[in-house]
A and B are shown apart, each in its own frame.
Chain A
């Protein structure tokens, strides 16, 4: 039996069943083909329930089937299957009418990553209170490993909340971009919309900028960026793993 032949035929229904299978049982190759494809479609349905709700079961299953055939998993942890699903959906011509679908999939993928991220107890508001105000500008933060920001041209947090049972389905009158913040300070994954400039602020901090540098980036992105509010939120929401001043190591 050539494993390569068996493996190729599993994901390509146009290939014949491997010749090494005893002739009288060759038709049963279909059982393995079906088990593999169905289990991987189920894995995607588990990870992307809001995408599935938006496009409907039938469309989701067909899109997932295409994805499985073209981008089968590499990770042996099946909960992480579908990291490329957002890009794949965006490239599907049939999804052109739903321009927010890719970002919705990115948000759901980030929720799984956050759910399984490493355990770190975030620093609380008392940490911020204990820092000397004149040193704050030079402070660098290490963000909690679960923190992800998905900046979207669409109201992605509202769309997600409506399709995840967190909020009632309704027309979205004020269709404007939202940046989603995904975090998991303890065990529960949290999703919220960032205020103006919040995405640029967190992006700069994640890249190792000082608070002063990150605040400048945020103000450039949104002139009404409110530094005290955003700084307090970092600690009250539980986004900070550790702090370091120049010369210290985080």
Chain B
């Protein structure tokens, strides 16, 4: 098993349209993250750009389509392609989601929810074992953004992820925006969630923007859009996590309404200040 890891710095999601701007104005960031499935093609511009980027930066390969939370066994050709990508690019991190994305032959291109109970825990653990064995490396599993819950759910999400990590040895990717979005949508306290979350196992943090919505019953809710700057309450939770966990590799995700490179780099600098503050020795109050 490989235990290479990302630097405890700010990372950004790589957008192909920023490629030349990045070369012209490199930002002080520690790593880039890409969605693995965008590199399932054989060649061309995507691989040429990723090869160039990888020479200069640490890399996080983030899977969105393996369907680890699905009922069916993992897709062998998908696993084989991920293995080949990891062999080719040697990313510092590979991560996937606590979600499902396909059923039978259909791929839904979305992260879909599953009930959290003993049966799904056993299934997800089997899939994570298989993924780690195939890749020959420890992977990180990410908490989803939730809009609903299931009547057959019996385990809380932090407990589920802690137990998954205990059974498989996997690490966790803590998406702080997802925690905040789920907390608003399902009516829980995000700090209670984070208190139960095994922060020691967090190999990466995700930060992103969300948007406001109202459900059919008129309840205010949040949608995880990755289409806006990071909201203040998410930055506050991020700071709260770092105070307890220490500095961690922290990625800003932006997939919709993507601004220009300099605007993203400026948001990275804002998050970087919070991260740098967490590097300083904690001051202790005098008695």
Residues of A within 8 A of B (CB): 1, 3-4, 6-7, 10-11, 20-32, 35-36, 39-40, 43, 72-81, 114-119, 145, 184, 187
Residues of chain B contacted by A22 (CB below 8 angstroms): 148-151
Residues of chain B contacted by A75 (CB below 8 angstroms): 107
A7 B103 Cβ-Cβ under 8 A: yes
Q: Which of A29, A77, A117 has the most CB of B within 10 A?
A: A77
- 4 further contact pairs, Cβ within 8 A, besides A43-B109, A74-B106: A3-B71, A21-B150, A23-B151, A79-B38
Does B281 sit within 8 A of A, measured CB to CB? Answer: no
* Known contacts A25-B147, A32-B112, A77 near B41 by CB under 8 Å: yes
B41 A26 Cβ-Cβ under 8 A: no
A145 to B46, CA, bound (A): 16
Q: List 18 A-B contacts (CB under 8 A).
A: A3-B71, A3-B100, A21-B148, A21-B151, A28-B216, A28-B221, A32-B112, A32-B113, A35-B110, A36-B109, A39-B110, A73-B107, A74-B105, A78-B37, A79-B41, A114-B44, A116-B42, A118-B42
Interface flags for B32-62 (1: CB within 8 Å of A; 0: not) read 0000011011111111100000000000000
9 nearest A-B residue pairs (beta carbon) = A116-B41, A119-B43, A25-B148, A7-B103, A27-B216, A118-B42, A77-B40, A76-B65, A28-B147
A117 B40 Cβ-Cβ under 8 A: no
Q: Which of B37, B40, B110 has the most CB of A within 10 A?
A: B110
A20 to B106, CA, bound (A): 21
Residues of chain A contacted by B41 (CB below 8 angstroms): 77, 79-80, 115-117
B109 A40 Cβ-Cβ under 8 A: yes
Q: Which residues of chain B from 77 to 106 have a CB within 8 Å of any chain A CB?
A: 78, 100-106
A3 B70 Cβ-Cβ under 8 A: yes
Q: How many A-B residue pairs have CB under 8 A?
A: 119
A27 B44 Cβ-Cβ under 8 A: no
A20 B152 Cβ-Cβ under 8 A: yes
Residues of chain A contacted by B75 (CB below 8 angstroms): 76
- The smallest C-beta distance from A1 to any residue of chain B, in angstroms, reads 5
Residues of B within 8 A of A (CB): 37-38, 40-48, 65, 70-71, 75, 78, 100-110, 112-115, 147-152, 185-186, 213, 215-217, 221, 223
User: Which residue in chain A gives the minimum CB-CB distance to B78?
Assistant: A76
A10 B108 Cβ-Cβ under 8 A: yes
* Known contacts A79-B38, A116-B46, A25 near B112 by CB under 8 Å: no
A116 to B46, CA, bound (A): 8
B42 A119 Cβ-Cβ under 8 A: yes
Residues of chain B contacted by A20 (CB below 8 angstroms): 115, 150-152
Residues of chain B contacted by A11 (CB below 8 angstroms): 106
A117 B38 Cβ-Cβ under 8 A: no
- The smallest C-beta distance from A38 to any residue of chain B, in angstroms, reads 10
A7 B148 Cβ-Cβ under 8 A: no
Residues of chain A contacted by B100 (CB below 8 angstroms): 3
Residues of chain A contacted by B42 (CB below 8 angstroms): 116-119, 145
Residues of chain B contacted by A3 (CB below 8 angstroms): 70-71, 100, 103, 114
A32 B110 Cβ-Cβ under 8 A: yes
* Known contacts A22-B148, A26-B148, A72 near B48 by CB under 8 Å: no
- The smallest C-beta distance from B276 to any residue of chain A, in angstroms, reads 35
Residues of chain B contacted by A7 (CB below 8 angstroms): 103-104, 106, 108
Residues of chain A contacted by B149 (CB below 8 angstroms): 21-22, 25
- The smallest C-beta distance from B81 to any residue of chain A, in angstroms, reads 8
Q: Which of A23, A32, A119 contacts B147 (CB 8 A)?
A: A32
Residues of chain B contacted by A115 (CB below 8 angstroms): 41, 44-45
B215 A27 Cβ-Cβ under 8 A: yes
User: Which residue in chain B gives the minimum CB-CB distance to A112?
Assistant: B41
- The smallest C-beta distance from A36 to any residue of chain B, in angstroms, reads 5
User: Which residue in chain A gives the minimum CB-CB distance to B70?
Assistant: A3
Q: Which of A22, A30, A79, A81 has the most CB of B within 10 A?
A: A22
- The smallest C-beta distance from B84 to any residue of chain A, in angstroms, reads 13
A28 to B104, CA, bound (A): 24
A72 B106 Cβ-Cβ under 8 A: yes
A187 to B44, CA, bound (A): 6
Residues of chain A contacted by B47 (CB below 8 angstroms): 119
A77 B37 Cβ-Cβ under 8 A: yes
A36 to B112, CA, bound (A): 9
A76 to B105, CA, bound (A): 10
A169 to B259, CA, bound (A): 31
- The smallest C-beta distance from A15 to any residue of chain B, in angstroms, reads 14
A248 to B38, CA, bound (A): 37
A78 to B36, CA, bound (A): 11
A36 to B102, CA, bound (A): 11
